[in-house]
A and B are shown apart, each in its own frame.
Chain A
Amino acid sequence: MTDDRKPMIECRGVHKHYGDYHALRGIDLTIRAGEFFSLLGPSGCGKTTLLRTIAGFEDISDGAILIDQKRMDEVPANKRPTNMVFQSYAIFPHLTVAQNVAFGLRRDPRSKAEKAALVDEALAMVGLRGFGNRAAHALSGGQRQRVALARALILKPKVLLLDEPLSALDRKMREQMQVELIKLQRQVGITFVLVTHDQEEALVMSDRIAVMFDGEIAQLDGPEALYARPANRRVADFIGVMNFLPARILGESDGAVTVEAPGLGVVELPARQVSRANPDDEGPTLGFRPETMTLVGANQTHSQPRETNATIDEVVYYGDMTYYDLRLDGAAGLDGRARPVRISMRNVFGRDVQEVGTRTRLAWSPGSLVLFR
């Protein structure tokens, strides 16, 4: 990540009201030129509204949006240097593929032959060479997606806005398109802004991600930072799977916190492993990702500093992975309830999947814990 690239989109204190409903509550955001940026959040968090204000489909109630250092207040959607790929793709069903792709060139003064060459080039770029004469309504979902991309990119916008572009595709197709979108973005070098509710999709594709809840940005970070150091418990909950155990704070010095959690014992966590709890949490919680702890067989050794005994409650087999729900010994301590924790193990050749009811050992390191307080 180079931070010296010039800003392409700047949102300054953007608010949006729909009557009494406050959809965007002061969004401050800078998206740099050439970035693959994602707006991630559950439905109703304002991510699509934010995208539509950038596109110019919605007016903002307060604040300012700048694209390429120009204020967009008075610039309507059809004059902005942005193009959009819609969730439904919005392919014009009464036109051919080529007519769809050429739609944005209608007001372009170039000759017919030049435009046709541009259309061919755009279709080739999305892997639809030779599809120009097909009727648009006869295409498959993945092909419509590509036509929508070609149609938007042929205008060489400064920013391409993508509104949940992959949500209508089946899983295989979605994963394939994710990779293709990344490649395409590198190839054209245009700033991409993607709206998605799928955290995996955001993690796979983005340079940076803004996680949104209730019209506010909860965290803006790169995928790895977002996953490993969530700014608060809500973000941790939303991105990937995280186990939460009730914890008790024993002491604090220089930002480092000493906590005790049932089943895990006493650990000291440095300040960077301390994050914010949700307002409605009952007390501090310790969190960890399923893949950060390891099940260890009876006569196996490990190099992790800590070890906990546990019983296997449930085994969920996924082919490449197995999920184990475990009861940690001594975990019923604080509130009398034994909360199962979920551990994921990659299935390696030669290692058997363990069975329900087995007593087992769990190896872990305090470095993988996050305290939410």
Chain B
Amino acid sequence: MELIYHFLFDPVSSIREIKKVRPCLLAGSIVILATVSGTIGNLLVTGLAPDIAKISLTLGLVIKLISIFLLWLIFTSILHFIAEGLKGEGEVSSLFISLGFSFIPGILLTPLALISHIFGPLKVFIYLLFGVIILIWIVILQVLALKETYQLSYGKACLAFVIPICIGGISLFVLGILSLLTLISFIDSLLSF
């Protein structure tokens, strides 16, 4: 519990603690809670039809959890590879657990979604604002995790963090275009039936 507290308010010292203690299960629990909280928060604000919301909450959540765990693993591996390339030295397991802890602010998404309802029609905008703040907070924690685990400078840590995001972003963009083209030709083939 103290680890969670310190990670939020004194992340540097708690990352050092994580290197010693390796609370993998706790990190996993945090990731699960944050994903569930994020899903519920989004559903509360977007106001989907109850039948679609039920599917999103059940099947959608399962898919999201599997994806987030895979992404967590892949992202850790990529960051480890880049950090070592930038002459950093550290253990991938410590980074893995620290990145899991960095999701702690995500647990606040559901209460924030409920709070945003006070603002009536502005709730979506307010929730988005909260979401951006939480995202920035998580990114800062992840950069700190990278820095402390591999003893990198702030600059190198930021660079190591940004590189896979840029590559991932470009890949997703290209994938998105290709998917769209495939979908268009698929729909076209249906319409011409």
| Real binding pair | no
